[in-house]
Amino acid sequence: MSFTSLPAGSSPSPSGSPFADAPVTKVTMPALSEMKRQGKPISSLTAYDYSTSRLADEAGIDLILVGDSLAQVVLGHDNTLAVTVDEMLHHTRAVRRAVRRALVVADMPFGSYHASVSEGVANAIRFIKEAGAEAVKVEGPRVELVRALTEAEIPVVGHLGLTPQSVLRMGGYRVQARTAEAVLRLKTDAIALADSGAGVIVLEGVPREVAAAITAELPVPTIGIGAGPDCDGQILVFHDLVNLTFAKPAKFVRRYGDAGALIRTAIEHYREDVEHRAFPSDEESYHLAPAVRHALDDMAEQKTGVLRKA
């Protein structure tokens, strides 16, 4: 497999973490292809900051996507269209600082590659040079762009099916490839992207049978989200995984924890302790050394005596 071995200590890692004292095999695009060949499922997850991406990496996730979904789950927008290149760069830098093993992929936001191929390549280069991304993801059957990015030595992840940046044209988030014609078109687009150099293709919001057929036909790995269990790998949005979205989950989401309840309860307990003066305790407070306290007491007594004489 095409792994790059990193020496221990090449990046900060906490004591007790899986990577604290051992070399790490870095996941690469060719390594993902080898995982497909071996039939080993690829685990993927979005992350947008240092803390969550560090946890995802230490948990053994293979691919971490700095998704433009941060527009919704981090910045509070209604869709992904508002997030900018500079905002995506900011978050990609934070993720890259935390990750030692996983492949870090940056989403190219809406408007960063739609006007021209040359603009798309220029923005992709920024993600590689300025933010440390190891691949970029683009939505839609943009064959010319993928070919140009590949020629520029930039690994590419394609994204077909339900493409959130097309939400206005699609009129909402709807399952795609429901007709025979649409299925054939999706297959053709997927093959074209792979032939143009895309190393991985995300399939979102398509019937299981369609995703399975495309996965079997493509030479590159597919990553599914709402595309059934037959893709070469799966991806979920971090906030969906741990219930931090404040909304009803999509059908394909499985929640593995309730961080929302955990965090809310912790904050409520903190507020109550502050209101009842139970926090901080004496043990959680700093104290003056006895000698300093005595000196201050003596100074106070002397000052009091002088005022009395006056």
Instruction: List residues with catalytic annotation.
Output: 204
Residue matched to tokens 């054939």: 184
Asked whether the beta carbons of 81 and 167 are under 8 A apart, the reply is yes
User: What distance in Å separates the CA atoms of residue 105 and residue 149, rounded to the nearest whole number?
Assistant: 14
User: What distance in Å separates the CA atoms of residue 282 and residue 167, rounded to the nearest whole number?
Assistant: 55
E strands, the chain, in order? 4-6, 24-26, 42-46, 63-66, 103-107, 135-139, 156-161, 200-204, 222-225, 233-236
Rg for the chain, CA atoms, rounded: 26
Kindly state the tokens that stand for 183: 């299925």
Q: Which residues contact 121 (CB under 8 A, 6 or more apart)?
A: 145, 148, 149, 152, 154
Query: Closest Cα partner for 218 from 204, 236, 232, 207?
Result: 232
Asked whether the beta carbons of 3 and 28 are under 8 A apart, the reply is yes
Exposure of 289 in the CB half-sphere (CA atoms within 13 A): 3
Q: What torsion do the CA atoms of 4, 98, 205, 246 make, to the nearest 10 degrees? A: 170
Asked whether the beta carbons of 257 and 241 are under 8 A apart, the reply is yes
